[in-house]
Structure 1
């Protein structure tokens, strides 16, 4: 043994006296294990017999044997008829205490966009957050209790990987009425939010190294999904007619990501001639369009803009929707709709890629839709957001005196304010000190250094009473970022 018998017993005795709520067996096990790991007991050192250890420490032999057996099981000791010896456990403390392990993330992960703030309570102007305090929680609780009462433990298994049939059927009926998409439950897959839908598209439809076209600026989640899948991203500029196709000199894409009904973050609507041009381009080049329809339910003038998927029969479009924006974020239920041929081909893979789950929540949401509560909630939120949209525009006009342009679109839950010559990321960071979370517009570009600067202001979960004082504070921060006095 590397330490004397007296030192060995003194070490263990001291640990036994300071063991607190631990059992004697656990304390003895831990003391011997630490002595082996820190080198105080070298490999091939022989331990006294269990009877001698028990007598010296004043504990039962069964306790000693139990600790020694556990250490033997884990490979720290060897026990046989010749006695108990310390095993060779490899290098211990091979790194000096002052040294720190250098951690290098994979390049595709290191390049992911900065995460969006998820603070609670939700700060003012946080983009993408609905008015969660207006959600009819008592009604939801009653429906949830009803599902559990009627289904019980039958819902505790994994379920269909594609999601609960009742929810997929309810979504199909809703889409036919509201978005002009004719589909059935077999074409729908329930996802954990829209981002999982993007991930599924990359897994099903692309290979590492393929090209993906994205709106620039555009949804950071799509950039994250494509980056971690090893796709090469090419940015397509955005103007008042939505994504502008610039195909000269570029290799053909495998995936094309767009939010045609309400572009994020500019708010523009993809014009009809660009929609048809995009559909034709995708057909000619065997590309798939991923249509992100994240908040088209909230349009404040005219008729709802039809979905691209419903414009042509068998269009090369995968449609993504989410309930995180229309109901509440923590619900984490989204869905993807595939053309019939793709749905049939993907069915075996869905079972390998997904496991199902959240069955009670999905059944509850199905009831919420089928009984008309979803349509009523959407109508109420549309009225609320239309009012807040106008109030925020009025506050910007009255309180924001630096030169700016409001990029809105007639819908959604955010306004984008383009402001030249500011450090929008610094303004966003400083705003967090005042319980505000506007997003920096430049952060949504592929090349943040070359992007338009400004702020993306969410108003879905921000009361109108906070608009004017919030804009005044942002005005001060913007001027400070320019070195001007407020």
Structure 2
């Protein structure tokens, strides 16, 4: 066996990785044994002999041998060092010849994303991403630095499972003053975002096979969370006022809970009227169902003041309110929250303490300071003006390049709008072709949660500067023209 050749080959594969000669030789021999190049029972050279051949110190060889003996890959028999003879079931064939056996995912995991994840590289009209370049990062950094200066070693442990008390208080103050919620800090539970909030609700409020409702078309992330919990997800059609369940649906498919986005329906953008909100609350009470109100981007309403949240419309409303800072601040913050009815405070606290260990106390404390010092309110004011201007530029560009073929929905609020396209056009094919041009448009047909299909494209405009809006819509129009 040419050990110098083996060592040189291994070094070539590990180029750029810094490690001592001892560790390098140990990994080389270990790798060679596991690849089957050094057979079971084979005798290795003495430590002096191998050291001379490889031009390394004897201690380097002794270290490698001793480590491999400890791991059971080598045996010391008298003065000889042998490859262990019980490795036949552990040693693989050479890597190049390995064939990976495919594994079938569980039924819960059979969910198809659309069509690729563009995050990490800019693509125009990505939905759900705010104007990150306008986030006041210097102010946020100061909040974090102040928190870290005052943090004690005890706060490096797992955080409070329900969230930092000071942040819960700050969120309660914000929601009661700006969104009309009626709640106390004890009803607020901090999560890693809306997806985790939904997952907790799905497992806490319904058993496998139970019926739950979601809007059709609706938020794909909610659909995936509910399906992953093995629930019977029923898509309920939306109209110009939001989700519109019929009496027959209430009676025949009574849900455990209803997921809805009343302040800016995802993806069509309709705003649920107060009358419809009250009707939904009354029906939920009658049929003993809960409402999960996802208020994901209601802070950015432009055509009139924001409507009050469903949670605060009536006393003891059967509503769990979900919020997130991903749209108002930045997605990487990964902080969201739930506001649960008083009767669910104790059981939800127990669920979180048992199965959802929390961390990142510093981020929560910094966010509490950001809220209470007025930085959050100031940031929202600036973003409302910015997004209004970008929405107007987008609408003007759509009317200019696509006005003859597209109908605009949902531009009155949030950070995305939707265009409906003629049924003859394939929105999936258009989306794929547009993505190749650097334009990310989510096809509405992929957001159907029932039999009703909507044909069109969802456009997130928060990250696209006004001056570039016309350029990107012109690109999209050229793509669409190929399918007309």
Q: Could you state the TM-score of these two structures normalised by the residue count of structure 2?
A: 0.88
Q: CA RMSD in A?
A: 2.9
Matched, 1:435 2:433: no
CA deviation after TM superposition for structure 1 residue 203, in Å: 2.6
Q: Return closer, same or farther for 1:57/1:398 CA change in 2, 3 Å cut-off.
A: closer
In structure 2, how many angstroms separate the alpha carbons of the residues matched to 1:39 and 1:157? Answer: 45
Query: Counterpart in 2 of 1:69?
Result: 66
In structure 2, how many angstroms separate the alpha carbons of the residues matched to 1:208 and 1:276? Answer: 29
**Residues 424-449 of structure 1 deviation map (CA, whole Å, 9 limit, x = unaligned):** 1222222233332222121211369x
SS of 2:299's equivalent in the other structure is coil
In structure 2, how many angstroms separate the alpha carbons of the residues matched to 1:17 and 1:124? Answer: 44
Say whether the 8 Å CA contact 2:391–2:411 is kept in structure 1: no
Unaligned runs of 5+ in 2: none
SS of 1:297's equivalent in the other structure is helix
SS of 2:298's equivalent in the other structure is coil
In structure 2, how many angstroms separate the alpha carbons of the residues matched to 1:166 and 1:384? Answer: 30
CA deviation after TM superposition for structure 1 residue 257, in Å: 0.7
Which residues of 2 match residues 90-109 of structure 1 at below 5 A? 90-91=88-89, 92-93=91-92, 97=97, 99-109=99-109
CA deviation after TM superposition for structure 1 residue 337, in Å: 0.8
Query: Counterpart in 2 of 1:424?
Result: 427
Q: Return closer, same or farther for 1:423/1:51 CA change in 2, 3 Å cut-off.
A: same
CA deviation after TM superposition for structure 1 residue 264, in Å: 0.7
In structure 2, how many angstroms separate the alpha carbons of the residues matched to 1:397 and 1:16? Answer: 62
Matched, 1:310 2:307: no
Query: Counterpart in 1 of 2:410?
Result: 408
Which residues of 2 match residues 172-321 of structure 1 at below 5 A? 172-246=172-246, 247-248=248-249, 250-321=252-323
Identify which range, 28-37 or 450-459, moves more after superposition: 28-37
How many residues are aligned here? Answer: 475
Say whether the 8 Å CA contact 2:4–2:54 is kept in structure 1: no
In structure 2, how many angstroms separate the alpha carbons of the residues matched to 1:79 and 1:155? Answer: 49
Unaligned runs of 5+ in 1: 1-6
SS of 1:238's equivalent in the other structure is strand
CA deviation after TM superposition for structure 1 residue 99, in Å: 4.0
Say whether the 8 Å CA contact 1:15–1:31 is kept in structure 2: no
Query: Counterpart in 1 of 2:26?
Result: 29
Query: Counterpart in 2 of 1:166?
Result: 166
Query: Counterpart in 2 of 1:358?
Result: 360
CA deviation after TM superposition for structure 1 residue 116, in Å: 6.5
CA deviation after TM superposition for structure 1 residue 462, in Å: 1.6
Identify which range, 462-471 or 233-242, moves more after superposition: 462-471
Matched, 1:125 2:125: yes
SS of 1:301's equivalent in the other structure is coil
Say whether the 8 Å CA contact 1:262–1:409 is kept in structure 2: no
Query: Counterpart in 2 of 1:4?
Result: none
SS of 2:320's equivalent in the other structure is strand
CA deviation after TM superposition for structure 1 residue 275, in Å: 2.4
Q: Return closer, same or farther for 1:410/1:65 CA change in 2, 3 Å cut-off.
A: same
Q: Return closer, same or farther for 1:120/1:100 CA change in 2, 3 Å cut-off.
A: closer
Identify which range, 275-284 or 125-134, moves more after superposition: 275-284
Q: Return closer, same or farther for 1:332/1:118 CA change in 2, 3 Å cut-off.
A: farther
Say whether the 8 Å CA contact 1:259–1:291 is kept in structure 2: yes
Q: Could you state the TM-score of these two structures normalised by the residue count of structure 1?
A: 0.88
In structure 2, how many angstroms separate the alpha carbons of the residues matched to 1:58 and 1:113? Answer: 54
In structure 2, how many angstroms separate the alpha carbons of the residues matched to 1:398 and 1:355? Answer: 52
Identify which range, 315-324 or 8-17, moves more after superposition: 8-17
Of residues 367, 370, 382 in structure 1, which corresponds to 2:369? 367
CA deviation after TM superposition for structure 1 residue 126, in Å: 1.9
